[in-house]
Amino acid sequence: MAIIRIPTPLRPYTNGQSELTVAGETVGQVLENLVQQYPALRTHIFNENGELRPFVNLFIGENNVNDLQGVATPVEDNDRILLIPSIAGG
């Protein structure tokens, strides 16, 4: 199981929890299991086609999963996944 860190803006959708332990063999499976547990997160992570939104950044340790195998990146037990949505403003 992986540990996924939930950023402050998304915590209202996880009952205020900042970290969750979620099962999955890949980053994609972890995310799918996460949104099954917390359905309100789905629109913040995935677009209407079920693809990861472009402003959602995922890291395992210091490695951006886009530099690895994307959502197909394997996850080991106790891997820490950081979910970091990009924030824009002006």
In angstroms, the CA 79 to CA 63 distance is: 12
Over residues 9-20, mean pLDDT? 96
Query: Any idea what the CATH number is for the domain that residue 10 is in?
Result: 3.10.20.30
Q: What is the mean pLDDT of the chain?
A: 93
Is pLDDT at 90 greater than 60 in this prediction?
A: no
Total of domains in the chain: 1
Identify whether 77 is part of a domain.
yes
**pLDDT of amino acid 85:** 82
Identify whether 90 is part of a domain.
no
Say if residues 83 and 7 touch (Cβ distance below 8 Å): yes
The torsion angles phi and psi of 78, rounded to 5 degrees, stand at: 70, 10
Say if residues 33 and 45 touch (Cβ distance below 8 Å): no
The predicted-structure confidence for 35-65, as pLDDT tens digits, reads as follows 999 999 999 999 999 899 988 999 998 999 9
